[in-house]
Structures are given as C-alpha cells and as structure tokens.
Amino acid sequence: MWAASQKNVVGKGNDVKREQCFIAGNWVSNGEWVSVDNPATGAIIGRIPSLGRPETRKAIEASAQAMQDWAARPANARAVILQRIASLMEQRSDALAALLTEEQGKPLAEARGEIAYAASFFQWFGEEAKRAYGEVIPGHMADKRLFVLKQPVGVVAAITPWNFPAAMITRKLAPALAAGCGMVLKPSELTPFTALAIAGIADEAGVPKGLFNVVTGDAAEIGAEFLENPAVRKISFTGSTAVGRLLMQGAASSIKKLSLELGGNAPFIVFDDADLDAAVEGAIQSKYRNAGQTCVCANRFYIQSGIYDAFVEKMAAAVSRLRVGNGADPGTDIGPLIDERAVAKVKRHIDDAAGKGARIVLGGTGAPQGPRFFTPTLLRDVKPGMDVLREETFGPLAPLVKFDADADAIAMANDSEFGLAAYFYARDINRIWRAAEGIESGIIGINTGLISTEVAPFGGVKQSGIGREGSRHGLDEYLELKYLCLSVA
C-alpha cells in the first residue's frame, strides 16, 4: 500500500521540507502524488502523497493506540514536550518561514511572524495543561460527595486552510496535545509542507509515535473517514463556511463534537471623533495583511460622512505606498494571491461595485509581477447591494461606504450572516461602549487593526463558527467534563 522511509527531507536550504505523510510514526507514500506550486511563480516546488481512506483509518487507529499512554502522563510531562516543540520551531524559524512563503506566498516578515505566533500556542497550552482544574461541589445530600473531572475528548480529526499554514494547525494541535488527545490532521493541499515540517518537529520533540499524524490526499475522501470512523470523537475545522456546513452535517450522524472556525466579513467603522491617522494605519494593517487573505481582514469600511473625504485621501496615500512582489523579496508588502480563482473573485467584486456606481480611487487591476498578483485597490462611494459588502473578498480590496448616524453604521455592520471580527475607531467612551455591545461579532478591535494573540479567545458568532481557539477557553474544546456522584456511608 505504501513505502515507509525514515529520510525524505528534500530541497536545498529547506532542511524542513518533507514530501511524505506521517502515519503511525513513519514517513509514508503510496506512489500517487499531488504537485504543489509556488503562488508567486507558478513553479512546482514539490509533491505530496495522494492518500485516501485506508491510510486515514491507519492513522486514526495509531492515534487511538498512542493516546492511551499520552493521556495517562501527568500534565507537566506533556507540557515539557510542548515547550520543546515551541523551542525547536523558534530555532528553525528561518527555514520554516522560507518554506511557508514558498508554498503560501506571504512576505517573509509575515511568515516569520506566523511561525512565532504558531509556536506561541505550544508555550501557552504547555502551561494551560497544568491548570485543567476539576471541581469539588458541595453535596446536595449529606451522604453525597460531588466531583467534576476534566478528561481528554479523544482522537481529534483536524482540517486546516492554506492561508496560515502553521498557526491554524498549532492553534489546534497544542491544546489537543495539552489535553491528552491524539490527532490526525489533513492540511490544505495547497500548503502541506509546513504541516509536514511541524510533524517532523513534533516527532523530534518527543511526541509519541502514532499520536500525531498528517495525511494528504483527496479532501472529501479523508474527510469521510474522519466523519464515519467511531474512534474520531471530535472534528476541529478551520476553513470556509461552506465546507464547515458540510462537516457539521456529516458529524451529525454520530454526534461528533465540533470546533468550527469559519468565514468572515469584518466591518471596519471610523467614527468622526476617531484619530484619523491611527484609523488609516489600523485599516492598512487589517485589510492588506497576507494580501487580504485572512479571516479577520477588514472586508468593508464604514466612514462617517464628516470625515469621509479626508479618510479617503489619507487611505489612498497609505495604499499607494504598498509594494507588490514575491514574498521572498525583501521590502515586499503584498505577495501573490493563492491562485487564479482568488484573483478572479477580486476582479468580480470590483467590476460589480463599479458597475453599480462605486469609483476606483486606486488599483483595480492585476499587477505586472504575474497572474496571481493584484494591485492593492481602494473603492469609494460603495453602496449597500454591492457584492463586495456581502461576500468575503479575501484579497487586497478596500471598499469605503459613507454613513451619517452611528446607529446606521452598526446596523450595516450587523447586516451579514458572518460575525467573526469587527473593528472601529472612536474616542468617546459612550460611543465605544455602544458600538462594542451592539456589534454582532466574536472579536472586536477597538482603535486597533491587529487583534490576534494566543492568550485571547478567537472565534466567531452566527455563520462564522462554533467554539474558541487560544486562551484558557481553547483547552476546554479538547476536554470532556465527567461528573462523579459519590455516596458515602
């Protein structure tokens, strides 16, 4: 069925790239391959095995077996290994970042930032593992003693997206291991090498063989095994709402637990008492990070009428300074989009808005660096009814809407089936509280465009997902509560 080999590191300079899957502690392939390309150049940079249900089943069995020992270890013993993973990631940050940029396209500086962010989850949950406290509850009867234990949920099947090839994995793997769980991961077929590199580091750090597995291949086939295999107790998914909905439907047949980190459509509101320069800085940071390909990117901007023209002018000046290029080149701010389909969606949103009366202030076209590059674009006079306000663009496009009354902005912000992140800039404390309490979102950046950290709960409401990742809440996603009612004579 496959060939197991201990050494499969390929490529010069990237001493972390592996082209085989990690199953039951072995590096394996089956002779069927899927190519992976560099989004900046289109060049093939490697290949990964195209595995299916039999190999996925083998991985699940191995994880269930290894979990028996892992869950029985004291939390501080698990913590030592998690901290070691973090250290190894930090030591290999340059190689990991180069690999991440090669397969995903983001600027190297952002890739280094993602590796540090990804490693931070192992540091954080290594500590949280030791604080998974249970409870002793005063008995409801004289002869009863009541206790609550926290125990690992079981083998977790994880499925992750391409836009953060490291952090979206470790935001699941770290708490799962901290809780005592095993995991089988299917990374995105577009950015598999970072996942395989993390598997190699986890193995080197001492994660028991078979506990953590990485399978690549047909997503629907691997996903079907995840959903139908009774040994899988939880599905942890990060990706589009459409796929999340499919997995939720599939999980229903055996009531598998779910964590869903799904799509976003973040509003970015600038009230007329805001610090305009700070608001523009935050807008650039939130909108154009990863070329606009993050789930928490500002997707639509609502600017109060009294400052609208001034904001447009300042924003245009800032956007004009963004440099498009290969993420591996120093000085690049905006790398390529992941594929041509992503470019087509950005163009569709621009054409739809312009066709309905919006004006292109800056950009609006592809970039000369290649078919997947797009110029950072700014639209003004955007109105409700344009696709760019309803759909997640996932590209370097900022549409600016004018509003008059505060309540209008909050109503427009909430007019979406999504509710992951939102942002607003204001200085009046009453206005801040009204907006913070009124906006339907799991995360709100107030006078900042950057909100992500391992210490805070990350997740959305409405169709942006279920559950939270990071923070002390992130560990609970991988723990079950067991209530003990002890009768004493």
Ligand X SMILES: O=C[C@H](O)CS(=O)(=O)O
Binding residues for ligand X (CB under 6 A): 163-164, 167, 294-296, 452
- The residue range among 59-67, 157-165, 348-356, 363-371 that interacts with ligand NAD, by the rule CB under 6 A, is 157-165
Between 406 and 469, whose beta carbon lies closer to ligand NAD? 469
- Cα torsion angle, 141, 145, 149, 154, sign: negative
User: Interface with ligand NAD includes 339 (CB under 6 A)?
Assistant: no
Q: What are phi and psi of 37, to 5 degrees?
A: -120, 165
Tokens of 241: 């709402």
Footprint on residues 402-421 left by ligand NAD (CB under 6 A): 420
Residues in the chain: 489
Instruction: Report the nearest approach of ligand X to the CB of residue 410 (Å).
Output: 23
Footprint on residues 355-394 left by ligand NAD (CB under 6 A): 392
- Catalytic residue flag (residue 128): no
User: Interface with ligand NAD includes 246 (CB under 6 A)?
Assistant: yes
Between 238 and 416, whose beta carbon lies closer to ligand NAD? 238
User: Interface with ligand NAD includes 470 (CB under 6 A)?
Assistant: no
What distance in Å separates the CA atoms of residue 34 and residue 224, rounded to the nearest whole number? 19
**Residue 246 partner contact from ligand X, ligand NAD, none using kind-dependent CB cut-offs of 5 to 8 Å:** ligand NAD
Between 104 and 375, whose beta carbon lies closer to ligand X? 104
Q: What are the residues facing 236 on neighbouring strands?
A: 158, 259
Chain-centroid distance of CA 474 in Å reads: 14
**Residue 262 partner contact from ligand NAD, ligand X, none using kind-dependent CB cut-offs of 5 to 8 Å:** ligand NAD
Instruction: Report the nearest approach of ligand NAD to the CB of residue 335 (Å).
Output: 16
Which of 261, 391, 469, 477 is catalytic? The answer is: 261
**Residue 452 partner contact from ligand NAD, ligand X, none using kind-dependent CB cut-offs of 5 to 8 Å:** ligand X
One-letter amino acid for residue 228 of the chain = E
**Residue 219 partner contact from ligand X, ligand NAD, none using kind-dependent CB cut-offs of 5 to 8 Å:** ligand NAD
- Cα torsion angle, 25, 27, 30, 36, sign: positive
- DSSP-assigned letter for residue 306: G
User: Interface with ligand NAD includes 161 (CB under 6 A)?
Assistant: yes
User: Interface with ligand NAD includes 163 (CB under 6 A)?
Assistant: yes
Instruction: Please answer whether residues 288 and 256 qualify as being in contact, where contact means their C-beta atoms are separated by less than 8 angstroms.
Output: no
Pairing of strands 232-238, 155-159: parallel
- DSSP-assigned letter for residue 175: H
- DSSP-assigned letter for residue 60: H
Give residue for tokens 């009046």.
428
What distance in Å separates the CA atoms of residue 387 and residue 263, rounded to the nearest whole number? 16
User: Interface with ligand NAD includes 341 (CB under 6 A)?
Assistant: no
310-317 — which CB contacts under 8 Å span 24+ positions? 310/276, 311/270, 311/276, 311/279, 311/280, 311/400, 312/361, 312/378, 312/380, 312/400, 314/276, 314/277, 314/280, 315/280, 315/283, 315/284, 315/378, 315/398, 315/400, 316/361, 316/362, 316/378
**Residue 239 partner contact from ligand NAD, ligand X, none using kind-dependent CB cut-offs of 5 to 8 Å:** ligand NAD
Between 132 and 388, whose beta carbon lies closer to ligand NAD? 388
Give residue for tokens 């912000």.
413
User: Interface with ligand NAD includes 102 (CB under 6 A)?
Assistant: no
**Residue 392 partner contact from ligand X, ligand NAD, none using kind-dependent CB cut-offs of 5 to 8 Å:** ligand NAD
- The residue range among 161-169, 325-333, 400-408, 444-452 that interacts with ligand NAD, by the rule CB under 6 A, is 161-169
Instruction: Report the nearest approach of ligand NAD to the CB of residue 205 (Å).
Output: 24
**Residue 265 partner contact from ligand X, ligand NAD, none using kind-dependent CB cut-offs of 5 to 8 Å:** none
Residues that bind ligand NAD (CB under 6 A): 159-164, 168, 186, 188-189, 219-220, 223, 238-240, 243, 246, 261-264, 295, 392, 420, 460, 465
Active-site residues, by number, are 261
